[in-house]
Structure 1
Amino acid sequence: MEIFAFYNVENLFLPDSNAGHKSEKTKSGLFNWDFRKYQYKLNKIAHAFRLIGEQHQQLPFMIGLAEISGDHVLKDLIQTEPLQGKYGILHYKSLDERNVDVALLYDHSKIEILESEPITFFFEESGLDEKYYDTTRDILFAKVKFEGEIINVFVLHLPSKREKDVNKPKRSYILQELKNRIEKIQENADEKVIVCGDFNENPDDEVLEILSDKTFQKNALENPFADLFFNKKYSTFHYKSGLLFDQILLSGNFYHQEDQLQFEMAEVFNHPQLTLKSRNLSGRPFRTFAGTRYLGGYSDHFPVLVKLKN
């Protein structure tokens, strides 16, 4: 059995020179973000993976991450227990305006990286005086080998919902481009595909049908998180609404009995230690910040994972 996990870790930034000034935002956009709080957050994230390991008797063989800022925080993260000495890093710096990227950690005793690249998107926008190009977070692509099988992994964090969801066309465009890439990959029927990330869409939203709709010929991706959402399993919340923006989609050959790696189950990992204990907000992720107020938790998202039989 192997575990593939994804975790939006909520603004994992290095502290900077303004840390310690409670009334000022640092360059990360966080208030009073100092080294002590940074180290505490690293340990919290590592502890989330420790809990996954304890519950499932092993750590993930690959971990997609969102809302990390730069290589340094990833190098610090993989030095924490229980990750220490086990994981390699794939990360590319994107042009995101918030300075947050996606990344892939991989168990280097099991995974061989064959190739990788960032997939960058530019969107033409109109300003007051002239047109300009808006950028968003890159998609990270990695072609890896696991025990002779080829897996194509895409890690994404799609543009957020804001201003009456002005970014919905961008999410649709990005997923259409991703679909085109997957169709080319699946000309080789033996290769598998995993798409993981924070989609800023629930599994039943029409934008996700670009990847999972059966009109996507035989190459439609399966979304095991659709059933979880139907059963009110949520990875994050917005006001009173439960959301399942964090998902892992799989190519159909993960469901072939003759294949080496087979889908077994999907899970929103809402372990009690990762949840708030507040009377009104019980069951929600124990986050690091609520607005400008520091709470000292893990993240405003729960990790999600799939178990694969081998």
Structure 2
Amino acid sequence: MQHPESNELFAFYNVENLFSPDPPPVHKLDPTLSGLSNWDQRKYDNKLFKITQVFQLMQEKYDVLPMLIGLSEIQGQSPLDELVKMPPFNSEYDVVHFDSLDERGVDVALLFDKSKLELISAEPLTYFFEVTDNKPSYYDTTRDVLFCKMRYAGEIINVFVLHLPSKRGDDVNRSKRIFMLKDIREKVQILLNEKKEAVVLCGDFNDNPDEDYLKDLLYDDQSKQILKNPSLDLYRNSNFSTFHRNDGLLFDQMMMSYEFFNSNFPLQFKSAEVFSPPPLRSWDKKFEGRPFRTYAGTRYLGGYSDHFPIVVEWYKK
């Protein structure tokens, strides 16, 4: 299917541990900086190539590269700088990234097309959580939320990129996700109601879009809907970006303010999809339809990621 070049794309991709190669261990059983098994230069180069191939496939389908790309599970600036030098980016994209206090050293980032967007400001939103189960208490940290203010065609777009605390055990991190989204919701209301500026959120929310607290994010204090989440329809139609055991999940989502729907804003929502062409899917029939992962536990598979990217297409007015 051919798409007119005047349309624009916005993508988000959890790239599954884009880490710099580990230095050779002094001793065979030394722990690695990445936490990955034998994460060497060859595997790292293959990982970078695979990520760029994803966006080449996206460009082939839509005839245009995403002008905004949110990324998660990034370790440091160096892999991002290498990534944007490679085709199809060819040094035409800038990188926004801050090191966070995450215990594994993974962060979020934003890539953007310098010819189409101007970065006005960027900052990390950092969250701390006091843990009191043990004495003395201590503070737990998580990945920062990246907040960028961009200018496109004379209009302001506020972009939030997030990777909320992961599900594990009895989902002890649920309260942290709720707390962070409440804070982001307050910030979004100020941007929309007081500053009259457009907002987009993208990220790995570590919950499906039908969760009540994710739906609450779409409404202001007066119960007026301020954001739309196209991922809701995708999820209801069994479009999944990742899997856990037998469950299909749509943790990767994008939300947009009403400027992107039926207004004079220069970008208008057209469609959303989980981008899962055949090369990105597992070659193992047992896992048919699932992402072709880089690792399965400690076993290296050499795939792309354990998540599919998600893409929003905008009409360009």
Give the shorter-chain TM-score range.
Answer: over 0.9
The alignment status of 1:3 with 2:20, answered yes or no, reads no
In structure 2, the CA distance between the partners of 1:271 and 1:24, relative to structure 1 (3 Å rule), is: farther
The alignment status of 1:146 with 2:152, answered yes or no, reads yes
Q: Please, which runs of 5 or more residues in structure 1 have no aligned partner?
A: none
CA displacement at 1:191 relative to structure 2: 1.4
Q: Distance in 2 between matches of 1:153 and 1:244?
A: 20
In structure 2, the CA distance between the partners of 1:177 and 1:214, relative to structure 1 (3 Å rule), is: closer
Q: Letter of the aligned partner of 2:315 in structure 1? A: K
Identity %, equivalent residues? 51
Superposed CA deviations along residues 98-126 of structure 1, whole A, max 9, x for unmatched, are 10000000000111011110000010012
**Counterpart position of 1:40:** 46
**Counterpart position of 2:22:** 16
In structure 2, the CA distance between the partners of 1:14 and 1:209, relative to structure 1 (3 Å rule), is: same
Superposed CA deviations along residues 29-50 of structure 1, whole A, max 9, x for unmatched, are 1000000100010000000000
Q: Distance in 1 between matches of 2:49 and 2:184?
A: 34
Q: Verify the 8 A CA contact 2:219 2:225 in the aligned structure 1.
A: no
RMSD over aligned CA atoms reads 1.6
Q: Distance in 1 between matches of 2:313 and 2:23?
A: 42
CA displacement at 1:24 relative to structure 2: 5.5
Q: How does 1:248-267 map to 2 (within 5 A)?
A: 248-267=254-273
CA displacement at 1:214 relative to structure 2: 6.9
Q: How does 1:89-238 map to 2 (within 5 A)?
A: 89-126=95-132, 128-188=134-194, 190-213=196-219, 217-218=223-224, 220-238=226-244
Q: Alignment length, in residue pairs?
A: 310
Tell me whether 166-175 or 183-192 shows the greater mean CA deviation. Answer: 183-192
**Counterpart position of 2:56:** 50
Q: Distance in 2 between matches of 1:279 and 1:120?
A: 41
Q: Letter of the aligned partner of 2:99 in structure 1? A: K
Q: Verify the 8 A CA contact 1:286 1:300 in the aligned structure 2.
A: yes
Q: Distance in 2 between matches of 1:20 and 1:227?
A: 51
Q: Distance in 2 between matches of 1:273 and 1:242?
A: 19
Tell me whether 185-194 or 211-220 shows the greater mean CA deviation. Answer: 211-220
**Counterpart position of 1:294:** 300
Name the TM-score, length of structure 1 as normaliser: 0.96
Name the TM-score, length of structure 2 as normaliser: 0.94
Q: Distance in 1 between matches of 2:195 and 2:139?
A: 37
The alignment status of 1:277 with 2:271, answered yes or no, reads no
CA displacement at 1:257 relative to structure 2: 3.5
**Counterpart position of 1:245:** 251
CA displacement at 1:256 relative to structure 2: 2.2
Q: Verify the 8 A CA contact 2:189 2:220 in the aligned structure 1.
A: no
